[in-house]
Amino acid sequence: MVDRRALLGAGLAGALLAGCGGSGPADRDAALRDDRDDRARLNDLLALEHRIVALYAGLPGAPALVGRLLEHERDHVDRLQAAVRALRGRPVRAPARVDLPGELAPLEVVRRAELTAVDAYLGTLPAIQDAGVRGLLAGIVAVEAEHLAATDHALGGRFAPDAFVTGARRL
């Protein structure tokens, strides 16, 4: 376990917090070193958003909250597609089908999806070169964290348990 306070005391906060996410610092450093451009990175996020839309649309007996999240995720798809096109790229298409995770309650599926989304945006943002795209992705990840808060609360948890929200790869 990492002792955040000990590292804060040592003046190492920024780097520590970078390393607290679901994917480790080595993964993220590798992501920064690869030579893919903003279009490819945006398409990775778009593929994830497509998958989340398909998951939410296919959840049986999902509560009303999921309908609201689905609206937002569809808007994220639209905005990411527009961003890829603005960079003269070709947006990836939605998958033909997405298998639902078995034996999980709908809100637990949603929680995993939102954790994964936060992790993905967190990992992608530092590698994005275009400042305007970074602004867009920051605006989206803030809302993905809001989704996570609302979902956690619906599951009986707290809205905002942590001072630093990291996400995790769970899909």
Partner 1 sequence: MTGPGLTRRDALAAAAAALAPAALGPAPAAAEPQVSGDADVLIPLRRAEAAAEVAYRTVAMAGGPGDVVGLANGFAAHEREHAMVLATALEALGADKPQPPRSAAELDRTLALLGVRPLSQAAGPRARLEVLLELEQALIARWVRAHRALQDPNLMRTATQVLACQGQHAVALRASLGQELLPSSVAADR
Interface residues with partner 1 (CB under 8 A) are 1-3, 7-8, 10-26, 28-29, 32, 68-69, 71-72, 75-76, 79, 118, 121-122, 125-127, 131-132, 134-150, 153, 159-160, 162-168
Answer yes or no: are the C-beta atoms of 50 and 95 closer than 8 Å.
Answer: yes
Rounded least distance, CB 96 to partner 1, Å: 25
Question: Which of 5/97 has CB closer to partner 1?
Answer: 5
Shortest spacing between CB 46 and partner 1, in angstroms = 15
Q: Is the CB of 55 or the CB of 148 nearer to partner 1?
A: 148
Choose between 79 and 97: whose C-beta lies nearer to partner 1: 79
Closest approach of Cβ 69 to partner 1, in Å? 7
Classify each residue of 88-108 as buried b or exposed e, where b means 16 or more C-beta atoms within 10 Å of its C-beta: ebebbeeeeebeeeeeeebbe
Which of 109/136 has CB closer to partner 1? 136
Q: What residues contact residue 94 under an 8 Å CB cut-off, 6+ apart?
A: 50, 53, 54, 77
User: d(Cα 71, Cα 103) in Å, to the nearest integer?
Assistant: 25
Least Å distance, CB 139 to partner 1, is 4
Residue 66 Cβ, how far from partner 1 at the closest point, in Å? 11
The residue length of the chain stands at 171
Q: DSSP letter for 94, please.
A: P
The dihedral through the CA atoms of 80, 81, 82, 85 has a sign that is: positive
